[in-house]
Amino acid sequence: MVEKYELTIVLDSKATAAKKKKVTETIEKIVALLKGKLGKVEDWGVKENGLYLFFPLEIEKSSVKMIATKVSQEDDIKKYLLIRKK
């Protein structure tokens, strides 16, 4: 069953545009691989502890663990939060 999720990623506050693009493309590939849908990516800018990117997702419930695993393995990502949207 497809459900809606929200993925927020924190990069280093000094991340370049190229690094943001690379991370965004990586997330797009992971979601496509799992046959999910990616909504409009939002750049929330730099906050006190990093640069924030927001990804609205529609994925199978069974794919959530795989996304979390893949995201946690990315060296450029400092932190992430993946939640189910109600």
Q: Structure pTM?
A: 0.92
pLDDT score of 48: 85
DSSP alpha helix (H) spans, 1-86: 17-33, 64-72
Which CATH superfamily hosts domain 2-74? Ribosomal protein S6/Translation elongation factor EF1B (3.30.70.60)
Task: Give me the residue spans of the domains in the chain.
Answer: 2-74
pLDDT for 46 beyond 90? yes
In angstroms, the CA 57 to CA 38 distance is: 5
pLDDT for 77 beyond 90? yes
Would you state the structure tokens that stand for residue 9, as one six-digit string? 């990623």
